[in-house]
Amino acid sequence: MSKLRFHAIKQSLKRKPKFIEETQRRSSLFGTNVFNDKAMLQALTKDTYKSVKGAINKGKKINRVTADQIALAMKEWALSKGVTHYTHWFQPLTGATAEKHDAFFETINEGIAIERFAGNQLVQQEPDASSFPHGGIRNTFEARGYTAWDPTSPAFIYGKTLCIPTVFVSYTGEALDYKTPLLRALNAIDGASVNVAKYFDKNVRKVNASLGWEQEYFLIDSALVASRPDIVFAGRTLLGHSPAKGQQLDDHYFGSIPNRAMAFMRDLELESLLLAIPVKTRHNEVAPNQFELAPIYEEANLAVDHNSLLMDIMDKVAERHNFKVLFHEKPFAGVNGSGKHNNWSLSTDTGVNLLAPGTTPMSNLQFLTFFINTIKAVYDNEELLRASIASASNDYRLGANEAPPAIISIFIGEQLTKVLKELETVTKGKLSPQEKTDLKLNVVGKIPEILLDNTDRNRTSPFAFTGNKFEFRAVGSSANCAKPMTVLNSIVAKQLIDFKSEVDALINKKDLKKDEAIFNILREYIKESKNILFEGNGYGEDWQKEAKKRGLSNNRTTPKALKARVSKQTIDLYTSLGVMNEKEINARYEIDIEEYTKHVQIEGRVLGDLAKNHVIPTAVKYQNILIENVRGLKDIYGAQFKAIAKEQMDLIQDISKRIELINSGVNAMVEERKKANKVIDNEKRATFYCEKVKPYFDEIRYHCDKLELMVDDEIWPLTKYRELLFTK
Ligand code: ADP
Ligand code: MG
C-alpha cells in the first residue's frame, strides 16, 4: 500500500468523535449572534427602529443620520460580544460567499485609538474585488464594484467579525452578484401575487416567497480526502471501482447516525442556531457517509443567505472534526449523488399560504389560481428552469438513475390530477353561471382531502407538488439557491401579471363575474400546459420518449441547457420585470459557460495525472512482479511452465493492453484539449469540451478501474471506494 494511503486509513481509523456538551436549550441559543428584532429593539431608539423596519418591509430609504445611529448601535452590540472586525458579506458570481474584513479599530489623532463604525461604512463599501467574475460588465469603462447593505437580511457575528449582508453592484448599477436579481425577482412576485390575491382578499398588502432547502452532503475523513488528488482538486472521484458492498442493501438511509458524524452535526447545528439558521432535521441519506440537513423554511432571500452561510459553516466545523464536506452532486460513481431540494411557496401578510388548499370554496379558487398559474409558468419556461440548475457537476447527477432527469415535468399527485381533469372537461364551450357555481363547489369541495393525503409522493419528479408547496428537486447540492429561486419567482410573477390582465380583460369585455372569468382563464391554462404534468417514473426510458413526443426539452448537458438563459423569451421576461437587463443576463451566461469549460478542463488534467503518474506506474510495478514470477516458474518447470504460468501470462497481457488503452486515451484527450483551447468563442469551446474532451473520462476510467481490480491491493496507491465510504 502506498505510504499516503496507509497513513490516511490508519489516521482515520484512530479518530474519536468529538462531542460538545449541550448545556442550554436550543431555543435560548437561537439568533444570539444576530442583530435581530430583539437586539434592535434593545439598541435603537423607537424612531430609528421604525426606519429600519420601513426599509425591511417597504423598501424605504434610510437617511444619513439614521444610518449613523444604526451603525453605532451595531458596533456597540458587536463590541460587547468581543467582535473586532466588520465585513460586507456578499455572494459574487462564483456562487460562494465573499468577505473582506476591516477592523473597527482606528487612530484619530496621534496616539489616540478608538473603535469606530459609521453609517457610510454600514451602508456602502467599495471592496475593489476586481478579480471576481463579472462577465464583461466591469471591463467596459468603470471597473469599480460596490457593496450595499441589504437590511432585509440581518447582520450577524461569525467568529470575531460582524458580517453585514450586502448586494454587490457595479458603478453603473449592474448586479455583480446573485442577490440583486433575486431581490428584484422577489419584489416582482410580491407585486404580482398581491394583485392577484386581492381578487380574493382586499386586505393583502404583501406576499412573501418562502424557501425551505434540504442540503445533502457527504462527510469523508480529511486524511482520506487528502490522499485523493481528484477529490482535492475536482471535489469528486475521477477513478475508483465500486466496492463489493455499496448501497444495495439500503442500510444507510435513515439508519442510526454514526458517532463521528453525529458529533459534527451537533456542533454544526449549535453554530447555525446562534446565527438564527433554524436547522431542524438531520438524517442519513441513501449512500454510505451521505447525510441531509434541513431547516424550517423562511422568507426566500433570508433562506438563500442562510444556505450559503451554512455551507460555509459546514466547511469550518468539518475541519474541527477532521472531515471534509463534499458538496459535489456526484462525488462517487455508482453511488447516489446529492441534491438540494428547494421547497417553495407563497404566503400573504394576512397569514395565508397561497399554495395550501383552504376549507372554503373561495379560498380554494384562490389556491387553484396560484397552483395552476405556477404549472403554466413552469410549462412555458421549462428550459429556463432547467438552465437555472445547470452546472458541470450537476450534469453527472441529473438523469443518473437516482436523480430527476434533465427533463422538467411536474408531479401533482392523483387527487389533484383528477381535480384538474374535471375542471378542464366538465364544461364544454361557454360556461353558464349556474353550471359554473355548481362546478366550482363540486370541484373545490374535494380539495381539502388533498392536504390530508399527500402520501403518493413521486421521488423521481424534478418538480413536485407536496401538499402545500412545490418542491424543485433537480437543484444540485453545490448550487447557490439564488439561481433557481430567481428563475422560479420571475416566471411565476410574469405569469400572474399576464393572468391578471387576461382576467380583467374578460371581466370588462364579456361582463363576466370575477370568479367566472378566473375560472375560464384557468381552464384554458390547464389545457395549454397539461403536457408538463407527469405522474409516472421519471427515471424510465419510456419517459424520455414520451417527453419528446410532448415537445418537452431534454437538455442533458450544461452547454445545451444554458442556451435558454439568453433566449429572446428569457430576455423579454427579465427585462419586462426589471429583474435583469440584457447586459446582466449575458454576463451571467458568459460566466457560467466559462465556468463549465474550466471545470471539465481541470478534471481532464487531474485525470491525466492520476492515470499516467499513479495508475500506469503501479500497473507496471505489478506486471514486473508477475514477470518475475513467470521467470521463476520457467526456471523450475522448464518447458512445462507455459501451462503452469498461463494465468499470470494472461494477466501480464491484459495489463499491457489496459496500459496501452489508458495511455493512448490520455494522449488523445490531451490532443482534444489542445484543440479546444484554441477555440475562441466561449460557447463553442464549452461545447467542444463537453462533446470531445469529456467522453474520454469514462473510457480512461474504465480501464483504470479494471486495473484496480487486478493489481495487488498492497501497492495500489489510491484510497479505494470502500475506504472512502465505509470508514466511520
Ligand atoms: P421531505 O419529505 O422532502 O424531506 P419535509 O416535509 O421534511 O419534506 O420538508 C422539507 C422542507 O420543506 C423543509 O425545509 C421545510 O421547512 C420545507 N417546507 C415545509 N413547508 C413549506 C412551505 N409551505 N414553503 C416552503 N417550504 C416548506
Ligand atoms: Mg424533499
Compute, in angstroms, the gap from residue 620 CA to the centroid of ligand 2. 48
pLDDT digits (tens, 9 = 90+) for 597-612: 999 999 999 999 999 9
Whether 215 contacts 3, CB under 8 Å: no
Distance CA 456, CA 575 (A): 39
pLDDT at 116 over 90: yes
Q: Are the C-beta atoms of 506 and 202 separated by less than 8 Å?
A: no
Rounded Cα distance, 9 and 7, in Å: 5
Distance (Å, whole) CA 694 – CA 179? 32
Nearest Cα neighbor of 396 from 253, 556, 545 is: 556
| 576/643 same-domain check | no
**Which domain CATH number covers 571?**
3.30.590.10
Average pLDDT over residues 542-564: 96
Residue 361: pLDDT above 70? no
Identify the domain boundary among 176, 195, 229. Answer: 176
pLDDT at 598: 96
Q: Which residue has the higher pLDDT, 311 or 134?
A: 311
The answer to whether the CB of 558 falls within 8 A of the CB of 391 is: yes
Residue ranges of E strands in 80-200: 85-89, 102-103, 105-107, 113-115, 124-125, 145-149, 156-158, 161-170
Reported as a single tens digit per residue, the pLDDT across 329-343 is 999 998 999 999 999
What pLDDT is recorded for position 125?
A: 84
pTM of the model: 0.94
Residues 38-58, mean pLDDT to the nearest whole number = 91
Q: Is 468 in the pocket of ligand 1 (CB under 6 A)?
A: yes
Instruction: Report pLDDT for 143.
Output: 61
Query: Which set of grid coordinates corresponds to residue 567?
Result: 433566449
The reported pLDDT for the residue numbered 516 is 87
pLDDT band at 359 (very low <50, low <70, confident <90, very high): low
The domain in which residue 49 lies consists of: 31-176
Q: What is the mean pLDDT of residues 622-650?
A: 95
What pLDDT score does 135 carry?
79
Per-residue pLDDT tens over the stretch 227-270: 999 999 999 999 999 887 777 666 777 788 899 999 999 999 99
What is the reported pLDDT for 436? 36
Q: Which ligand is nearest to the CA of 293?
A: 1
Residue whose CA is closest, atom 4 of ligand 1? Answer: 214
Atom of ligand 1 minimally distant from the CA of 341: 3
Q: Is 585 within the bounds of a domain? A: no
Calculate how far, in angstroms, residue 281's C-alpha sits from the geometric centre of ligand 1.
Answer: 10
Same domain, 337 and 474: yes
Instruction: Flag whether 588 is in a domain.
Output: no
Of the chain, the percentage scoring pLDDT greater than 70 comes to 93
Find the ligand nearest to 292 CA: 1
CATH number of the domain encompassing residue 684: 1.20.120.1560
> Minimum-distance ligand to the CA of 213?
1
The CATH number given to whatever domain includes residue 100 is: 3.10.20.70
CA of 477 to the centre of ligand 2 (A): 12
Q: Residue 682 — pLDDT band, cuts 50, 70, 90?
A: very high
Residue 37 within a domain? yes
155 and 217 belong to one structural domain = no
How many angstroms does the Cα of residue 342 sit away from the middle of ligand 1? 8
Quick one: pLDDT band at residue 358, thresholds 50, 70, 90? low
Averaged pLDDT score across all residues of the chain: 90
**Residues 170 and 246 occupy one common structural domain:** no
Quick check: 641 pLDDT over 80?
yes
Residue 429 has pLDDT above 50, yes or no: no
Tell me how many degrees the CA angle 267-268-274 measures, rounded to the nearest 5: 95
- Residue 212 and residue 165 share a domain: no
Checking if the pLDDT of 448 tops 70, the result is no
pLDDT over threshold 70, residue 140: no
The three cell numbers of residue 646 are: 498461463
Q: Quick one: 255 and 172 in the same domain?
A: no
Residues 192 and 170 in one domain: no
Report the pLDDT value the prediction gives residue 374, as an integer from 0 to 100: 98
| Whether the Cβ atoms of residue 216 and residue 210 lie closer than 8 Å to each other | no
Q: Distance between CA 366 and CA 373 in Å, rounded?
A: 11
Please work out whether the CB of residue 214 comes within 6 Å of at least one atom of ligand 1: yes
Mean pLDDT of 397-421: 86
| DSSP annotation string for 216-229 | EEEEEEHHHHHT-H
Give the sign of the dihedral formed by CA 545, CA 546, CA 551, CA 552: negative
User: Among 280, 292, 469, which is best to mutate for testing ligand 1, by the most ligand atoms less than 8 A from CB?
Assistant: 469
Q: Is the CB of 296 inside a 6 Å radius of any atom of ligand 1?
A: yes
Rounded mean pLDDT of 717-722?
95
Question: What's the pLDDT band for 416 if we cut at 50, 70, 90?
Answer: confident
Domain end (from 127, 158, 176): 176
Q: Is residue 269 part of a domain?
A: yes
Domain total in the chain: 3
Q: Is residue 22 part of a domain?
A: no
Residue type, 722: R
686: closest CA among 591, 606, 609? 591
Q: Is 458 in the pocket of ligand 1 (CB under 6 A)?
A: no
Q: Based on the domain organization, do 83 and 154 belong to the same domain?
A: yes
Instruction: Kindly tell me if the per-residue pLDDT of 130 is higher than 80.
Output: no
Q: Is the CB of 208 under 6 A from ligand 1?
A: no
Identify the pLDDT of residue 457: 66
Residue 482 and residue 389 in one domain: yes
pLDDT over threshold 80, residue 149? yes
Report if residue 6 sits inside a domain: no
Our answer on whether the CB atom of 345 is closer than 6 Å to any ligand 1 atom is: yes
Could you tell me the distance, in angstroms and rounded to a whole number, from the CA of residue 328 to the centre of ligand 1?
22
Let me know whether 346 and 204 are in one domain. Answer: yes
Residue 15 lies in a domain: no
First to last CA, the chain: 20
Q: Determine the Cα angle at 409 with ends 404 and 410, to 5°.
A: 105
Question: What is the predicted pLDDT for the residue at 108?
Answer: 87
pLDDT of residue 304: 97
Q: Mean pLDDT over residues 578-589, rounded? A: 96
592 lines ligand 1 (CB under 6 A): no
Distance CA 512, CA 29 (A): 55
Neighbours of 347 (CB within 10 A): 20
**Minimum-distance ligand to the CA of 457?**
1
| Closest among 215, 232, 211 to 223, alpha carbons compared | 232
* Grid-cell match 458570481, residue found: 93
Residue 450 reports pLDDT greater than 70: no
- With bands split at pLDDT 50, 70 and 90, how would you rate the model's confidence at 77? very high
Which ligand 1 atom minimizes the distance to the CA of 356? 23
- At 183, which amino acid appears? L
**Residue 427 pLDDT class (50, 70, 90 cuts):** low
Report the pLDDT averaged over residues 579-600.
96
Residue 181 is assigned to a structural domain of this protein: no
pLDDT score of 428: 44
Any ligand 1 atom below 6 A from CB of 469: yes
215 lines ligand 1 (CB under 6 A): no
Which residue has a Cα nearest atom 17 of ligand 1? 212
Pair (507, 644) in one structural domain: no
pLDDT of 452 reads: 37
Tell me, yes or no, whether 437 and 381 share the same domain: yes
In the chain, the percentage of residues whose pLDDT exceeds 90 is: 75
Backbone angles phi, psi at 348, to 5 degrees: -90, 165
DSSP structure string for 313-340:
HHHHHHHHTTEEEE--S-SSTTS---BE
Q: Does 343 contact ligand 1 (Cβ within 6 A)?
A: yes
- Of the pLDDT bands very low, low, confident and very high (cuts 50, 70, 90), residue 443 is very low
Cα 211 to ligand 1 centroid, rounded to whole Å = 8
Domain boundary among 552, 580, 608: 580
